[in-house]
Amino acid sequence: MAKARLLAFLLCDNATRDSDGKISLHGVFDRIIAPRARRDVKIFYVYYRVVVEQPCAVALKVIDPAVHEVHDGDRRDLLPALGPMQTVWSLSSAYFSQPGNYTLELRQETEDSEPLTLAQMRLSVQESEE
């Protein structure tokens, strides 16, 4: 049973948070086109917003084109308070080095049950002709 209701799950180039908690997203996207000879590591962001109906945790799982989990730090929030909650996590382009389709899965986790998928998105990583 879902303990959090998903309102938004997006990827963007940049995100800012004002002192009053408002988050602004810049450059929303669903694919990466990278040069074959990658020199620079880029940081991009995952944004999500949920309504917490019962305390739980929300975590991000990233699966590469070969169906292996990508480990890029701990992307997990404990959500003890009820009501709307939003956050932004940073991700490094270094973890998306091979072309293909990646799956980003936002999951609800609790101690008393198996993880529950709240949302999945596909991130297509392509090489440019350069």
pLDDT at position 70 is: 86
Here the CATH number for the domain that contains residue 51 is 2.60.40.2550
pLDDT at position 11 is: 94
Q: Is residue 81 classed as helix, strand or coil in its secondary structure?
A: coil
Kindly indicate the confidence band of residue 61, based on its pLDDT and cuts at 50, 70 and 90.
very high
Q: Is residue 94 classed as helix, strand or coil in its secondary structure?
A: helix
User: Which residue has better confidence, 36 or 8?
Assistant: 8
Q: Which of 12-16, 28-32, 88-92, 93-97 has the lowest mean pLDDT?
A: 93-97
pLDDT at 73 over 80: no
E strands of the chain, at which residues? Answer: 4-17, 23-29, 31-34, 43-52, 56-63, 69-70, 76-79, 83-92, 100-110, 113-127
State the total domains in the chain: 1
How open is the CA angle 129-26-103, to the nearest 5 degrees? 60
**Domain around 76:** 4-127
- Average pLDDT of the chain, as a whole number: 89
Tokens 């169906």 label which residue? 67
pLDDT at 112 over 90: no
pLDDT at position 37 is: 66
pLDDT tens digits, residue range 31-56?
Answer: 887 666 667 778 899 999 999 999 99
